[in-house]
Amino acid sequence: MIGILIISHGNLGDSLIHCANHVMGTKSQHLMQLSISIHDDPDVVMPKALELVGQLDCGNGVLVLSDICGATPCNIASRLVNPGRVECLAGVNLPMLVRALTYRNESLAVAGDKALTGGREGVIRIDSRLHNAI
């Protein structure tokens, strides 16, 4: 099973985990979050991030999801990347997390690809075509 770590601003990670557990109907194992505040020094937070990755890695790797590409959480996440062991995606949303949880028993590469696709496909414009299709 792939571990999943969300690194995000404020309470976003907690909220995403709460919502994903609701959608999935179960409390997900090997899923943690690291909240970053405006006052956090990335060099001080990095050891905690490494510790969480170590706790989450059951031998199949860890998928790290961050919120905004280029922001502090993503910069911390990017320092964790270790090809084949730790993969990072930016732009986390609920569809991305649910997809990652759904495919976490696949390889890290497959779970990462599925999560990325889920995140992208989960962002759509709501218009009359969608309303008529429902």
Strands 31-36 and 62-66, by their bridges, are unpaired
Residue 101 bridge partners (DSSP): none
Q: For the chain, 134 residues long, give each residue's pLDDT as a single digit of tens.
A: 999 999 999 999 999 999 999 999 999 999 999 999 999 999 999 999 999 999 999 999 999 999 999 999 999 999 999 999 999 999 999 999 999 999 999 999 999 999 999 999 999 988 876 666 66
Beta strands in the chain (DSSP E): 3-9, 31-36, 62-66, 86-90
Indicate whether this model's pTM tops 0.85: yes
Residue spans of the domains in the chain: they are: 3-133
| Crossing angle of the two packed helices 12-24 and 94-102, in degrees rounded to 10 | 50
Q: Which fold has domain 3-133?
A: Rossmann fold (3.40.50)
